[in-house]
């Protein structure tokens, strides 16, 4: 940095002093804009869920928990569906992601490996509605009819989540860890033992990250789920959207807050443990 | 790369059967089969393969309007989100203020926030009965709440900018972190102004990362659905909403499929470009 910027402000020449003050106020403005744009919306969802009434006033009329008390059976059913599907998608996505990463390690640039890598990552580039429509067309009537089971929702969310799980697992297979595996192998450990004692423990942080990411993405998924979901398997986002479209904003906030807390809990569970930077999307 | 010297070992031996199994039994039903059925349906007519649905699709002036509208929303939102994201990242990196670290962590968590909830939260803030609107009314002593832009292109663009700018911040911050700060200091000590340093040193060096982040932003914005459904479905018909309502309201799967294939072509070409740029960027970083 230049020497002037380390001087106390009183010793600066006047023009520099003004420049510094202008710079600082610009920074302050930008920080406020950042907080206004990004922090405020999240705070608003939380605040509106405990608002007694909030329309046509600057702040809520009063605080109350009665929107939570008024959540009914269908809301809790949606919450249960979301959590079950989320757990299923996170487990299946992580298992498949780890398997893909191990099977393709070092081969993702050439031949068959490159083809598999491209196809596994493809849902990242496909709009969720389009993927939902494709799955609906493929599985809504015989030979494979999943149109009345939760399986079709799990299937479409699994496809959407797989790229993230696969990337997370693949980023854990770093060359310096491969040496340990080779050492175990050369010391005569049987393959199953290498997998259970060396490979999976090495990948544990990535597996944890992949579970949390899969869970959070599944909970918030809207486009594909809305296109394929069979009656009786509405997830929380679908119920929330329905309420918003009918103008029931405050009940929708209460339900969204529960959804956010569930995914926040999952993300904090990894943030507390994981120290390495998170993998790129 | 040392990878090529790695011997195949035990359970991890990359037997081709394993890769074939993953391709056929896992990715087949998850990705390949549904997308092929989608393309096939859009091509099938009463007697074999035809392009009739597409002819109808592109002939209809309404759908051309829908595509133009989708692209306009995409261009506006993604451009603004990228500019905002890069500016914010530059600020967080070069002029850290108290709490900048906290804001960075928050923006990382933002990525797991569902987009439709952003749209929903904006209703409380900028809707005609929202807090900002009422605040302005009280401040300026107006008869009626002044804001009425949310359910339309203005609201959609605002929500998409708010939601997707953080996706640009992260890759941009990562590419700033890889800058050689000695170059910045050298330029400064030779008397270059801040603006000149940013334009002549920082931007060219960080450009690959910024380009990857911007492309990602365009891709995600193109694929967005929740925001369009909440804020746009009444006045603004975009391609994803049109596909959704053709499939689930009109139950016209062939038309929906044709729209979906058009959309798929757009987003997959953008995605291919992103993967290319990103791979080059990451290889360059090593």
**CA nearest B231: which of A250, A127, A49, A245?**
A245
Q: A281 pLDDT band (50/70/90 cuts)?
A: very low
Chain B within 8 Å of A27 (Cβ-Cβ)?
Answer: yes
- A23 touching B, CB under 8 A? yes
User: B181 to chain A: nearest residue by CA?
Assistant: A1
Closest CA to A204 of A238, A235, A168, A253: A168
Question: Residue B4 gets which letter from DSSP?
Answer: G
User: What is the per-residue pLDDT across A182-227, written as a single tens digit (0 to 9) for each?
Assistant: 888 888 888 888 888 888 888 888 888 899 889 989 998 998 999 8
Nearest CA of chain B to the CA of A73: how many Å? Answer: 22
Token code pair at residue B165: 């700018």
d(CA B211, CA B219): 12
> Which value does ipTM take for this structure?
0.85
Locate B42 and state its tokens. 């859009």
Distances (CA, A) of A114 to A103, A105, A120, B270: 12, 11, 10, 19
B182: three-class secondary structure by DSSP = helix
How many beta-carbon contacts under 8 Å exist across A and B?
264
Task: List the 4-63 stretch of B: residues with Cβ below 8 A of A.
Answer: 4, 6-7, 9-12, 14, 16, 18-20, 22-23, 26-27, 29-35, 37-38, 41
**Mind telling me how many Å the CA of A84 is from chain B's nearest CA?**
18
Tokens of A160: 């959407």
B26, B100, B112 member nearest A216 (Cβ): B112
User: Which pLDDT tens digits describe chain B residue by residue (286 residues)?
Assistant: 444 444 444 444 556 888 888 888 888 888 999 999 889 888 887 777 778 778 777 777 788 888 888 899 999 999 999 999 998 888 888 877 777 788 887 887 777 788 888 888 888 888 777 777 778 887 887 777 777 777 888 889 999 999 999 889 888 888 888 888 888 888 888 877 777 887 888 888 888 888 988 999 999 999 999 899 888 777 788 889 888 888 888 888 888 888 899 999 999 999 999 988 888 777 665 5
Residue ranges per structural domain of chain B: 16-50, 60-285
CA neighbor of B43 nearest in space, from B268, B261, B267, B242: B261
Residue B219 CA to residue B50 CA, distance in Å, equals 30
Name the residue facing A107 among B14, B41, B95 (closest C-beta): B14
Spatial contact of B190 and B121, defined as CB atoms under 8 Å apart: no
CA distance A63 to A50: 5
The SS3 assignment for B85 reads: helix
Residues A5, A7, A9, A13, CA torsion sign:
negative
> Which residues in chain A have their CB less than 8 angstroms from residue B226's CB?
222-223, 237, 241
B126 touches chain A (CB under 8 A): no
CA dist list (Å): B202 to A31, B93, B187, B192: 21, 12, 10, 12
Q: How far off is chain A from B63, nearest CA to CA, in Å?
A: 17
pLDDT value for A113: 84
Residue of B nearest to A51 (CA): B124
Q: Please enumerate in sequence order all residues whose Cβ is within 8 A of that of A3, keeping only pairs 6 or more positions apart, or say none.
A: none
List of chain A residues whose C-beta atoms are within 8 Å of the C-beta of residue B10: 185, 190-191, 194
Helix (H, G, I), strand (E, B), or coil: what is residue A51? strand
Q: Per CATH, is B60-285 categorized as 3.90.1310.10?
A: no
Angle (deg, nearest 10), helices A73-104 and A200-220? 140
Cβ distance A31 to B20 less than 8 Å, yes or no, reads no
Contact B268 A122 (CB under 8 A): yes
């Amino acid at each position: 940095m230049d020497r002037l910027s380390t001087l106390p402000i009183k010793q600066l020449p006047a023009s520099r002093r003004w420049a510094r003050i202008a710079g600082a106020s610009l920074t302050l403005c930008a920080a406020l804009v950042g907080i206004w744009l990004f922090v405020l919306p999240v705070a608003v969802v939380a605040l509106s869920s405990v608002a007694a009434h909030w329309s046509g006033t600057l702040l809520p009329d009063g605080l109350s928990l009665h929107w939570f008390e008024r959540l009914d059976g269908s809301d809790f059913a949606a919450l249960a569906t979301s959590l079950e599907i989320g757990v299923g998608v996170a487990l299946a996505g992580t298992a498949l992601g780890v398997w893909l990463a191990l099977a393709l390690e070092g081969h993702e640039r050439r031949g068959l490996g490159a083809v598999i890598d491209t196809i596994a990552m493809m849902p990242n580039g496909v709009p969720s509605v389009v993927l939902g429509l494709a799955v609906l067309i493929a599985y809504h009537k015989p030979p494979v009819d999943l149109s009345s089971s939760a399986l079709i929702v799990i299937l479409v969310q699994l496809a959407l989540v797989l790229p993230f799980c696969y990337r997370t697992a693949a980023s854990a297979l770093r060359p310096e860890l491969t040496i340990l595996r080779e050492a175990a192998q050369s010391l005569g450990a049987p393959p199953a033992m290498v997998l259970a004692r060396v490979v999976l423990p090495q990948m544990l942080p990535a597996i944890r990250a992949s579970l949390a990411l899969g869970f959070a993405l599944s909970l918030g998924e809207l486009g594909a789920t809305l296109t394929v979901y069979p009656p009786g398997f509405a997830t929380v986002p679908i119920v929330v959207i329905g309420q918003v479209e009918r103008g029931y904003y405050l009940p929708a906030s209460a339900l969204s807050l529960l959804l956010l807390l569930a995914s926040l809990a999952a993300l904090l569970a990894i943030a507390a443990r994981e120290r390495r930077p998170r993998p790129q999307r | 790369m040392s990878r090529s010297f790695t011997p195949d070992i035990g359970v991890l031996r990359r037997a081709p059967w394993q890769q074939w199994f993953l391709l056929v039994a896992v990715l087949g039903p998850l990705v390949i089969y549904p997308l092929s059925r989608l393309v096939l349906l859009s091509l099938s007519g009463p007697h074999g393969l035809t392009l009739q649905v597409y002819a109808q699709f592109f002939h209809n002036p309404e759908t051309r309007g829908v595509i133009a509208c989708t692209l306009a929303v995409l261009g506006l939102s993604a451009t603004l989100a990228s500019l905002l994201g890069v500016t914010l990242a530059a600020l967080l990196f070069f002029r850290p203020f108290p709490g900048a670290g906290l804001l960075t962590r928050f923006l990382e968590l933002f990525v797991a926030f569902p987009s439709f909830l952003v749209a929903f939260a904006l209703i409380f803030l900028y809707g005609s009965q929202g807090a900002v609107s009422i605040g302005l009314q009280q401040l300026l002593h107006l008869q009626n709440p002044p804001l009425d832009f949310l359910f339309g292109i203005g609201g959609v663009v605002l929500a998409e900018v708010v939601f997707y700018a953080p996706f640009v911040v992260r890759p941009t911050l990562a590419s700033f972190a890889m800058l050689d700060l000695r170059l910045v200091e050298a330029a400064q000590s030779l008397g270059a102004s801040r603006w000149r340093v940013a334009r002549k040193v920082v931007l060219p060096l960080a450009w690959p990362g910024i380009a990857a982040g911007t492309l990602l932003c365009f891709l995600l914005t193109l694929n967005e659905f929740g925001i369009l459904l909440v804020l746009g479905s009444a006045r603004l018909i975009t391609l994803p909403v049109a596909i959704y309502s053709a499939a689930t309201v009109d139950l016209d799967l062939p038309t929906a499929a044709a729209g979906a294939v058009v959309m798929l072509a757009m987003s997959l070409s953008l995605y291919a470009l992103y993967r290319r740029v990103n791979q080059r960027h990451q290889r360059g970083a090593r």
